[in-house]
Amino acid sequence: MSDALRAGLRANWTQGDFGEVARFAQPAADAFVERLALRPGERVADI
């Protein structure tokens, strides 16, 4: 992640613009969960 992107995300996070932060974080989060290959009934901690 570039320093410019990181600075922009930090500014949005500080201002409370979580929707803007989520716009960048969601694709990585989706890919992470997909790689887990969770099965029905498995328990996970949502933190």
Q: Tens digits of per-residue pLDDT, 1-25?
A: 789 888 887 887 788 777 877 888 8
Nearest to 24, CA basis, from 11, 34, 36, 40: 11
- 47: confidence class by pLDDT, cuts 50, 70, 90: confident
User: What is the structure's pLDDT at 9?
Assistant: 77
- C-alpha–C-alpha distance, residues 26 and 24, integer Å: 6
Model confidence over 25-46: pLDDT tens digits?
899 999 999 999 999 999 999 8
Contact criterion met (CB below 8 Å) for 13 and 21: yes
